[in-house]
Amino acid sequence: MLFFALGLGSYAVVELGFLGTWSAELRWAFVARIALLLMAVPGLISLGRPLDLLRAGLSDAGRQRLDAVLDGRVFRFLGNAMFATIFVAAIFCVFLTPLAGVLRTSPAIGEALGLVSLVVGLLLVVPLMALTGIHTSTFLAVEFLLAFVELVIDSIPGILLRLNDTVVDGVAAATDAGWWPNPLHDQHLAGDLLWFIAEVADVPILIILLVRWGRRDRVEAAGYDALSDEEHDALVQAHLRGERTAEA
């Protein structure tokens, strides 16, 4: 139900609603549409546990192939929160170039961007939510701390778009209607929305990292509890020998 109501429902609202309808004419609608399809909609789809749904519909051989993909290096790399944030920030930097105007005003490219943005977002979000016990707790702690730095990185494209007093995509106003924002005001609205969406969308990533950290910590604690007294003593001695070697 969550997969259809929140996931596919949110995709339909973005693509068939105001943002999708006026994406080619309004910069802020185009920016909000791409940002939501890239960051928000994939997260809502992931709440419906698409990997579990896919696994339930596959044969035994299909599930084995799926598990092999999930255990692969590519999936683990995509499930790194640091990569996801930096990659999204790089995509947002396109809005600061004339290429944004070409992408927005081209009917064919504009339509394709909706699906492409969703697929890219899923490739980033689904691995992030699926991988809960792959990395050590130390790695997750570093990843969590760097995620706070990346909160600033994500906001930079939106801030630059908001503060720029030159229309960066070079596209003139689409209409002379009185309620329509002029190109510069339209660009400033796009920057405000991009800044807001990027900051809000990073909060679930921090929550996911906290969940992953907590689960990994419980797994490691259970592993230590399962050790016998002899194994525990051997582990302590090995740790002490390592510290003495480092001091030497």
What pLDDT, on the 0 to 100 scale, is given for residue 57? Answer: 79
pLDDT digits (tens, 9 = 90+) for 176-227: 556 678 889 999 999 999 988 888 877 766 666 666 666 666 666 666 566 5
Q: Give which of 139, 123, 145, 120 is closest to 206, Cα–Cα.
A: 145
Alpha-carbon gap, residue 114 to 87, rounded angstroms: 17
pLDDT digits (tens, 9 = 90+) for 104-157: 989 889 889 999 999 988 888 777 666 544 455 555 566 666 666 666 777 889
Q: Give which of 46, 200, 55, 187 is closest to 130, Cα–Cα.
A: 46
Q: What is the pTM of this model?
A: 0.74
